[in-house]
Amino acid sequence: MRLRDLPSVDELSRGVDDPLAVNAARAVIARAREEIRAGADPGDLRGRLREELERVRRPALRSVLNATGVLVHTNLGRAPLAEGALARVRDAAGYSNLELDLTTGSRGSRHDHLAPLLRRLTGAEAALVVNNNAAAVLLALAALAHGREVVVSRGELIEIGDGFRIPEVLAQSGARLVEVGTTNRTRAADYEAAIGPETALLLRVHPSNFRVVGYAERPRVDELAAVARRHELPLVDDLGSGALVDVEGEPTPAAALAAGADLVCCSGDKLLGGPQAGIVAGRADLVERLRRHPLQRALRPDKLTLAALEGTLALALERPGEIPVLRMLREPGEAVRARAKRLATAVGGTVEETVGRVGGGALPLAELPSFACAVEEELAAALRAHEPPVVAVVRDGRTLLDCRTLTDAEADEVAAAVAAVRSRR
Ligand SMILES: *Cc1c(COP(=O)(O)O)cnc(C)c1O
């Protein structure tokens, strides 16, 4: 095809009954012009117009198949929701009793629905849910320490990723940071020496995405709690990941509260395996101060988040194996190998031993034995462009389709995607 053979926008879009047809035809012709100039043949323009119309109508935020072996993948929406949690979301999406007390018929609070479940799971007197854990930490500091001092170990002044830095969040809350100890060693006595008339609370922060090894020391929660009690100050423990059940020895809210923390904060969509949310649990008087703070209104969760979290918490209590993050974390390597083998047989790939990761800034050292199906490197980009998109890992000249983060049914979808993109090459 030569440039002068290209149809006009009018000609290409004529007879296509679609309000977006003219704009789409313009885009198709512009691309065809570039291809002809580069010496390529643009092919069937009517077909490309149909594809362009499909493309512009596709939702921007879409479901993808996670073949990376990273369970809580930050770029892929962190934790996938359990079916049970999703059912609650569908149920609450219409009208719901979000702020209605069905017994009295008077106004209720959105914060009351999850409190009993959270109390059972953490042993706390009271709990509050906000939009994410960053919001939980900000609200706790703003409500309890505005204009006063917060004592934090130099070993815990962390950055989580995407610019969430403890010293900056602390500054935004209106509190003043008092650093104690050193990067690798901080003792309970260091906190005690820094306490003065301006001190509002002691803050402990989970190191999350890094570890200090070797000559390192950090006080236990009960040691810090003893210091806090002696000075009648609250101890706030930002646990980060939010493991409610035992996951590789991660601290649980229940354990931190039992050891004497007055308030704990954690994420809903890391190891907890639920929706993006922040949970604050602990002493009733402190939770009440957070609830009454004006920022609470700006940070409160919507009904969909609350429904998804309630569903996830109910599973954590009774059937944790149905929470996808926990299921993937605990699946034996042999089962993952069998899935990789089936996928390799289906697409003519080879089975490779890999290492799965938790991701999301949690358990940075944990290596989950995993297996992938290896296929040609050139397929990676086409697989991402496929519908549904498949996100894999390119390493050593091959595309690795890691099977720890795929269910059996998803592995079948990946096999179909590989066949489809190969046939188009
Ligand atoms: C992840 C994390 C946060 C932020 O939680 P989001 O849910 O991402 O807002 C805060 N503190 C710690 C220790 C974390 O690990």
Q: Point out the ligand 1 atom lying closest to the alpha carbon of residue 238.
A: 13
Given this model, what pLDDT does residue 163 score? 82
Residue 249 falls in which region: left (phi positive, over 0), alpha (psi -120 to 50) or beta: left
Given this model, what pLDDT does residue 226 score? 98
CA-wise closest residue to 204 among 223, 231, 229 = 223
Predicted confidence band of residue 207 (pLDDT cuts 50, 70, 90): very high
Please name the residue whose Cα sits nearest to atom 15 of ligand 1: 240
Distance between Cα 320 and ligand 1 center (Å) = 22
Given this model, what pLDDT does residue 335 score? 98
Pairing mode of beta strands 235-240, 199-205? parallel
Given this model, what pLDDT does residue 160 score? 86
b/e sequence 144-183, b meaning 16+ C-beta within 10 Å: bbeebbbbbbebbbbebeeebebeebbeebebbbbbbbee
Q: Point out the ligand 1 atom lying closest to the alpha carbon of residue 206.
A: 13
Q: Point out the ligand 1 atom lying closest to the alpha carbon of residue 135.
A: 9
Given this model, what pLDDT does residue 162 score? 79
Place of tokens 């040691």: 223
Predicted confidence band of residue 246 (pLDDT cuts 50, 70, 90): confident
**Helix H segments across 39-132?**
45-57, 83-92, 115-122
Given this model, what pLDDT does residue 63 score? 97
Place of tokens 């990067």: 183
In this predicted structure, the answer to whether residue 329 has a pLDDT above a threshold of 90 is yes
| Residue 324, preceding peptide bond in cis (omega within 30° of 0) | no
Rounded Cα distance, 216 and 87, in Å = 46
pLDDT in tens, 155-204: 999 998 778 899 999 999 999 999 999 999 999 999 999 999 999 999 99
* Contact (CB, 8 A) for 140 and 265: yes
Given this model, what pLDDT does residue 250 score? 93
In this predicted structure, the answer to whether residue 2 has a pLDDT above a threshold of 90 is no
Q: Point out the ligand 1 atom lying closest to the alpha carbon of residue 267.
A: 7
Q: Would you list the DSSP string of 13-57?
A: HTT---TTHHHHHHHHHHHHHHHHHTT-----HHHHHHHHHHHHH
Q: For the whole model, what pTM was predicted?
A: 0.94
In this predicted structure, the answer to whether residue 210 has a pLDDT above a threshold of 90 is no
In this predicted structure, the answer to whether residue 277 has a pLDDT above a threshold of 90 is yes
Please name the residue whose Cα sits nearest to atom 14 of ligand 1: 240
- Six token digits for residue 49: 């117009």
What percentage of the chain has pLDDT greater than the value 70? 100
Q: Point out the ligand 1 atom lying closest to the alpha carbon of residue 207.
A: 13
Predicted confidence band of residue 209 (pLDDT cuts 50, 70, 90): confident
In this predicted structure, the answer to whether residue 144 has a pLDDT above a threshold of 90 is yes
Q: How much is the average pLDDT of 408-424?
A: 97
Given this model, what pLDDT does residue 161 score? 79
Given this model, what pLDDT does residue 245 score? 87
- Six token digits for residue 324: 């996808």
pLDDT in tens, 94-140: 999 999 999 999 999 999 999 999 999 999 999 999 999 999 999 99
Of residues 119 and 242, the one with the higher pLDDT is 119
Place of tokens 């979808």: 413
Distance between Cα 241 and ligand 1 center (Å) = 7
* HSE toward the beta carbon, residue 31, CA cutoff 13 A: 13
Residue of 156, 164, 170, 173 to mutate, ligand 1, most atoms within 8 A of C-beta: 164
pLDDT in tens, 335-394: 999 999 999 999 999 999 999 999 988 898 899 999 999 999 999 999 999 999 999 999
Residue of 72, 137, 237, 325 to mutate, ligand 1, most atoms within 8 A of C-beta: 137
* Contact (CB, 8 A) for 86 and 247: no
| Residues near ligand 1 (Cβ within 6 A) | 132-134, 137, 160, 164, 205-206, 208, 238, 240, 267, 278, 361
